[in-house]
Homo-oligomer: A and B are copies of this chain.
Amino acid sequence: MKEIDFTRIAKIVNELEESYSDRVGVNLTGEEMIPRRDEIIAVTEKLLEIIFPGYQRSFEGAGTAALLIDIQSELSNQICRAMRRREKSTCKCASCSASCSDNGDCGHAVYKLLEQLPEIREITKLDVAAAFAGDPAAANYDEIILSYPGLKAITIQRMAHVLYLEKVPLIPRMMTEYAHTQTGIDIHPGAAIGKGVFIDHGTGVVVGETARIGDNVRIYQGVTLGAVHFPKDACGMLIKGNRRHPTIGNNVTIYSGASVLGDITIGDNSVIGGNVWLTESLPEGTKVTATPPENRRKQMQ
C-alpha cells in the first residue's frame, strides 16, 4: 500500500512513546493537567474587556457581572490545574481533576484580582492620559486604547502581577507572554509598575522580574531593564528570586535602546538617552546621554 507507510509510522510512534515515558519533564502523558494556553488568553481578553468596557464589543450593562462570574469560574479552574500540577497531593481542591466544584483555594487569588480591577482601572486611566500627554501622534484617548501596544502590555502585566503576588504558578507568566506575543513587550509578572506609565512603540522592551518602575515613567522601544550577574549557589545552581533588576524613580524617561542593568536605582526625574548602557545608580534629576559613536562618513563614488 503506497499511500501510508504503517511500518514507518509505527516505528516513529514507538520511539516517541519511549521518549515520552522517561518523564524528564517535557511531556504530560498521564492524567496530569496543566493550564491551557487558549483558556488563559480568553480570560485575559475578558479581563481587558472589564478594564476597557465597550472597546472590544458593544457594552452591555448586565454584562459586567456575567463577565466577572465567568472569569471567576474559568480562571479558578485554570489556577486549580496549575496548583494541582505543582503540588499534586497537597492541593486543597479535592475534586479538581474533572471539575473544580470546591475551588476555595484556587478561587482565592481570582477574587484578589477581581477586587483590584476597579483600582487597576483608575491607574489605567492615568496610563492613557500619560500616553496622550507623551505622544504627539496620539489623536485622542480612543486611539490609545484601541491601538497602543504599550497600554495593552502594561495592563495585562498589572493583572498578572496580582496573581504573581498571590503565588499562583504558571499563569501570570502565560498572561504576560501572551502580551509579549501581541506587542513585542516582555514584562515579567513580578515587576512592580507605578501609575501613569507609558511605553511607546515598545517592540523589544524587556522588564525583569524584580524591576520596579515609578510613576509617570516613559519608556521607548528596545529598552531593557535587566540583570547583570546571576549568582549561583554552592552547587552551581542559579539562585532564584533574589533582587537583580533596577528600580526606576518617578518621572523618569528612558529612550530607545537603552540598557539599564542590575539592582541599581535611577533617581526621580532622570532622563536616560537612547542606547545608553547603564549599570550604576543615578541620583535624582540626572540626564545621561551616550556619547554617540563618532560617525565616520565618506562620500560614495
With A6-B10, A72-B4: A275-B291 Cβ-Cβ less than 8 Å: no
Chain B residue nearest to A221 (CB atoms) is B206
Q: List 13 A-B contacts (CB under 8 A).
A: A3-B13, A26-B52, A28-B59, A31-B98, A33-B98, A59-B101, A65-B73, A66-B66, A184-B204, A201-B206, A277-B295, A283-B299, A290-B296
A291 to B238, CA, bound (A): 28
Chain B residues with CB under 8 A of A166: none
B136 touches A241 (CB 8 A): yes
A2 to B285, CA, bound (A): 51
A58 touches B99 (CB 8 A): yes
Chain B residues with CB under 8 A of A275: 259, 275, 277, 293
A290 touches B293 (CB 8 A): yes
With A221-B206, A296-B288, A299-B285: A62-B72 Cβ-Cβ less than 8 Å: yes
Give the distance to chain B from A243, nearest Cβ to Cβ, in Å: 11
> Interface residue tally of chain A, by bracket?
35 or more
B295 touches A13 (CB 8 A): no
Cβ contacts A120-154/B at 8 Å (1 or 0 each): 01101100110001111111111101111100000
A299 to B259, CA, bound (A): 20
B6 touches A6 (CB 8 A): yes
Chain B residue nearest to A245 (CB atoms) is B137
A95-133 with Cβ < 8 A to chain B: 95, 97-104, 107, 111, 114-115, 117-118, 121-122, 124-125, 128-129, 133
A54-73 with Cβ < 8 A to chain B: 54-66, 68-70, 72-73
Chain B residue nearest to A98 (CB atoms) is B31
B34 touches A54 (CB 8 A): yes
A291 touches B295 (CB 8 A): yes
